[in-house]
Structure 1
Amino acid sequence: MTLAGLNISEVLELALLLIAVGTLSGFLAGLFGIGGGAILVPVFYECFRLAGVPLDVRMPLCVGTSLAVIIPTSISSYRAHHARGAIDKEILHTWWLPVLVGVITGSVIARYAPERLFKIVFVMVAYSAAVRMLSANENWKIGDDLPKGPLMRFFGLCVGLLATLMGVGGGLFANLLMTFYGRPIHQGVATSAAIAVLVSIPGALGYIYAGWPVAGHYPDVAALQAPLALGYVSLIGAILVMPTSLLTAPLGVRVAHALSKKTLERAYGTYLLIVGTRFAISLWNGG
């Protein structure tokens, strides 16, 4: 028996995998303030590869679905960090508009960009952040505190743009910037959770827009029916992952505040190295 070209057993396996991934992504959202996207995108990629989604739409479908899942996860993570008073509200006030402009720009680029661009951005940023975190070198600082004025707003624009192209909540970049300017990683994690809220909602809507005309190019491809895509957002992927990720985000927050600065940085760096390598291999193999 099949469903949209897939065996029922394969559909069940994918469903169980997505539920498990939701549990892990929610925990990571709270732990690292990243919205969980950096784990969701690689796993969605494998799921959609198994489902036979065409290569030239597979990566943007992963990114858009990840952003949709991040919405409730990031809100849950933000509320938990806010309750602890760990969020820098001045950064949020400065960044909200530049981040939004970056998200809109990224959504427009996603409509026309080749599939490889998403992977290249993912690998470059993940490796850069991993090196910074794993080096544990306190001298790796750009300045003693975050800049003011146009440069700070430019950073916000970059956070929104790169987050939208990677399918992450923006916490990866916000966290990296804040630690480069001497801010404690715990504060970076908490503020990143708030940035993820700013990125995920318009980002998901942007990917629905970006992928809207694509469905017409694959009207007879059963593989695109399996994820039930709305533009570049898979409804099945989002529905299966959201509930468990929402439940486990507060647990990640508690663990983050219990860990030492060094332990949290090393865990974060190792994780980024692993997911970056996954897409580096994919770029090398061309699949």
Structure 2
Amino acid sequence: METQLDPATLDGLTIVLLVAGLATTGVIAGVLAGLLGVGGGIVIVPVLFWVLTLLNVAPEYASHLAVATSLATIVPTSISSMRSHARRGTVDRPLLRLWGPGVFAGALAGGLLAKVVSGGDLRAIFGVVALVVAVNMAIPKTLVIQDHLPVRAWVNRTIAGVIGVISALMGIGGGTLSVPTLSAFSFPPHRAVGTAAALGLLIAVPGVAGFIWAGWGIDDLPPGSLGYVSLPAAALIAPMSFLCAPLGARLAHALNPANLKRAFALFLAITALRMLTA
């Protein structure tokens, strides 16, 4: 197994390129989150995985670090987004009460599963689900299952739990999976996006806790790691993503959203295939 890079072996140019690369990742993730309403994690995870592998971090650890660090960056972003949506009245509190516990429990289970799930399995989960999301984004017509949410509470909580588990294992927030799911049940779009921001926090916090526990005590992780969370990477990515999300929201009003979604769907499909073949 490959050993981790010693910071003392990095020259000045490499460090500058690394910092610039991570900051740029945050910019792209923030802009896309505001522009398309997708979680920044769908961008952060593959980019961070490639950055870590370029730095000779073992792929088994790189996958876990990428997912866990992505979840850590979602915490401040989701808090800001949730507060913004709450001021506009688009956070559906009854839905949050119905789905919240299931999402939280599922995300915690996903984080804890990182102890036994291999890096290859994490990449496979990300790649397959990202392909599904890409196809969903590329299809012009929204899939509709029925004109209301399931009546039975246990069905709703099961759906929420599955979303929590998959999101935590992918390192993504609430929007990527919950918004299309709610749209399939004819839930109002603005309320779906607003509530997804709150669900993102309920995914990120327990997911991060689980990944910290799963990676605790592993000696070969890069310096500055808290379990599987890379604190230096999170410190570089999170502020840029936080600051650039409003820019993406403004651009969304000036650009054609249909063309942007198709372009991003293509990018996501290529990214997913690369993760599957990594």
Hey, what's the Cα distance between the residues in 2 that align with 1:152 and 1:266? 33
The correspondence of residues 42-57 of structure 1 with structure 2, limited to 5 A, is 42-57=46-61
Q: Specify whether residues 14 and 161 from structure 1 end up closer, same or farther in structure 2 by C-alpha distance, changes over 3 A only.
A: same
CA contact (8 A) 1:33 1:191 kept: no
Q: What is the Cα deviation at residue 174 of structure 1? A: 0.3
Instruction: State the match for 1:95 in structure 2.
Output: 99
Stretch moving more, 80-89 or 235-244: 80-89
Hey, what's the Cα distance between the residues in 2 that align with 1:81 and 1:252? 16
Q: What is the Cα deviation at residue 266 of structure 1? A: 5.4
Hey, what's the Cα distance between the residues in 1 that align with 2:39 and 2:188? 19
Runs of at least 5 residues in structure 2 that lack an aligned partner in the other structure: 1-5
Percent same amino acid at aligned positions?
35
Per-residue deviation, residues 208-240 of structure 1 (Å, max 9, x unmatched): 111113x23x2xxxxx435x2111000110111
Q: Specify whether residues 65 and 281 from structure 1 end up closer, same or farther in structure 2 by C-alpha distance, changes over 3 A only.
A: same
Instruction: State the match for 1:107 in structure 2.
Output: 111
Question: 1:82 is paired with a residue of what secondary structure?
Answer: helix
Residue type matched to 1:137 in 2?
Answer: K
Q: What is the Cα deviation at residue 127 of structure 1? A: 1.7
Count of paired positions = 272
Q: Specify whether residues 8 and 44 from structure 1 end up closer, same or farther in structure 2 by C-alpha distance, changes over 3 A only.
A: same
Hey, what's the Cα distance between the residues in 1 that align with 2:203 and 2:262? 22
Q: Specify whether residues 111 and 157 from structure 1 end up closer, same or farther in structure 2 by C-alpha distance, changes over 3 A only.
A: same
Please, which of 222, 225, 236 is the counterpart of residue 225 of structure 1?
A: 222
Stretch moving more, 244-253 or 8-17: 244-253
Hey, what's the Cα distance between the residues in 2 that align with 1:39 and 1:33? 13
Instruction: State the match for 2:144 in structure 1.
Output: 141
| Aligned Cα root-mean-square deviation (Å) | 2.2
CA contact (8 A) 2:109 2:210 kept: no
Hey, what's the Cα distance between the residues in 1 that align with 2:124 and 2:254? 32
Q: Does 1:275 align with 2:268?
A: yes
Hey, what's the Cα distance between the residues in 2 that align with 1:33 and 1:89? 20
Which aligned runs of 4 or more in structure 1 are off by greater than 6 angstroms? Answer: none
Hey, what's the Cα distance between the residues in 2 that align with 1:73 and 1:159? 19
CA contact (8 A) 1:209 1:231 kept: yes
Runs of at least 5 residues in structure 1 that lack an aligned partner in the other structure: 219-223
The correspondence of residues 115-264 of structure 1 with structure 2, limited to 5 A, is 115-138=119-142, 140-148=143-151, 149-213=153-217, 215-216=218-219, 218=220, 224-225=221-222, 228-256=224-252, 258=253, 264=257
Alignment TM-score, normalising by the size of structure 1: 0.86
Stretch moving more, 235-244 or 60-69: 235-244
Hey, what's the Cα distance between the residues in 2 that align with 1:201 and 1:243? 17
Stretch moving more, 32-41 or 154-163: 32-41
CA contact (8 A) 1:78 1:193 kept: yes
Instruction: State the match for 1:5 in structure 2.
Output: 9
